[in-house]
Amino acid sequence: MALIVQKYGGTSVGTVERIQAVAEKISRFLKDGHQVVVVVSAMSGETNRLIGMATQIHDEPTPREMDVLVSTGEQVTIALLSMALHKLGIGARSFTGGQVPIRTDSAHMKARIEHIDEQSMRADLNAGRVVVVAGFQGIDPEGNITTLGRGGSDTTAVALAAALKADECQIYTDVDGVYTTDPRVVDSARRLDRITFEEMLEMASQGSKVLQIRSVEFAGKYNVPLRVLHSFQEGPGTLITVDEEVDMEKPVISGIAFTRDEAKLTLRGVPDTPGIAYKILGPVGEANIEIDMIVQNVGADGATDFTFTVHRNDMAKARKILEQVAADLGARDVLADDKIAKVALVGVGMRSHAGVASRMFQSLASEGVNIEMISTSEIKISVVIAEKYLELAVRALHSAFELDKPAS
């Protein structure tokens, strides 16, 4: 007998029929003798619908009232799912975040979980009931309803699994696992049987949007085995877990992540003196613009070019700031380019294998793809290329690193 936390996303509970199908699915786990805690999202589209109504009434609704509003989406699905379970003769009780209670800080719309009291859930489980918990919401020290940020139900599920020391946290969604890369780009992309927390974080932050990033961080921190599965298709899904022993048979690369969400800014001809990086990036940081890759190179004439990437939505703002900086520093000019894409190879196997970067660059070169920026970490190599080459590059790398072949 295992204790399993299952999370069903918005599309999995998007209609009454689907909610009934989820109840049937849960009943099979109970028949196998497991204890089940279920976390649900709002029905698909519901959170957006609620936000839409709020913004029709007020341009800047207070975060407190937004949380009161959007938390209702999940309150609907916990009640309906509990009823569907009752209809099957299964004991079940719904819990809002505050009823668990899931205690958070007071940062409305982006609250962090501070503590979960697992006593009342445990009592229900011991009485043979299914515990159905509203995802995405909690309660702050003053008793206000809080929410955890969009996609937060994944984090609720992982946090409950950690608090209950569950055997597994299963995230049911509309894909059957984590893939080597986006199957819409590469036909031969393969579902991974397992991936490490670290790799998943890199895949997620590089644009594979299967799970809320925070939930993966949380799972890694508390070592909660996390499995991504399809809601209505049978299959093993992908297990996200700790790094196993170093295994030389293991593929060097686990996956390829990519994003079109970035833009590149270059400040040309800045003097090569101490403090330059700070003078350039200080004002950008103060404007709350996140910086990703940075490249600085000193030319033969002693002047340097300084290039970095930001989210595409921040490009215009960053450019304006840089134009001011350029004037102050006497730099030559500012270039901005949003027709770029970032492609990253991810794999813990890189730690024990040399030559991954050169193989990557060779593969891109043979396709005539120019590399504009490079950055590396222990388990990742990212490059910035022109956006028009993105699909070509991802396909070339996917076959160069034999990701289409099943792991041995």
Residues near ligand ASP (CB under 6 A) are: 10, 41-42, 47, 73, 135-136, 150-153
Instruction: Establish if 135 lies at the interface with Mg ion (CB under 5 A).
Output: no
CB burial class (10 A; 0-12, 13-18, 19+) of residue 167?
A: middle
CB of 174 to Mg ion, least distance (A): 9
Residue placing its CB nearer to Mg ion in the complex, 135 or 347: 135
**Is residue 257 within 8 Å of residue 206, measured between CB atoms?**
yes
Place of tokens 């489980």: 125
Residue placing its CB nearer to ligand ASP in the complex, 47 or 94: 47
Residue placing its CB nearer to ligand ASP in the complex, 10 or 177: 10
152's contact among Mg ion, ligand ASP, none, with CB below 5 to 8 A by partner kind, is ligand ASP
Residue placing its CB nearer to ligand ASP in the complex, 153 or 206: 153
255's contact among ligand ASP, Mg ion, none, with CB below 5 to 8 A by partner kind, is none
Closest alpha carbon to 396 in 363, 369, 362? 363
347's contact among ligand ASP, Mg ion, none, with CB below 5 to 8 A by partner kind, is none
Q: In the numeric block, which tokens belong to residue 73?
A: 């989406």
Report 149-208 residues binding Mg ion (CB under 5 A). Answer: 151
> At a CB cut-off of 8 Å and minimum separation 6, what does 86 contact?
92
Residue placing its CB nearer to Mg ion in the complex, 9 or 251: 9
Among 7, 9, 71, 237, binds Mg ion (CB under 5 A): 9
CB of 91 to Mg ion, least distance (A): 28
CB of 10 to ligand ASP, least distance (A): 5
Residue placing its CB nearer to ligand ASP in the complex, 132 or 325: 132
179's contact among Mg ion, ligand ASP, none, with CB below 5 to 8 A by partner kind, is none
List interacting residues with Mg ion (CB under 5 A): 9, 151
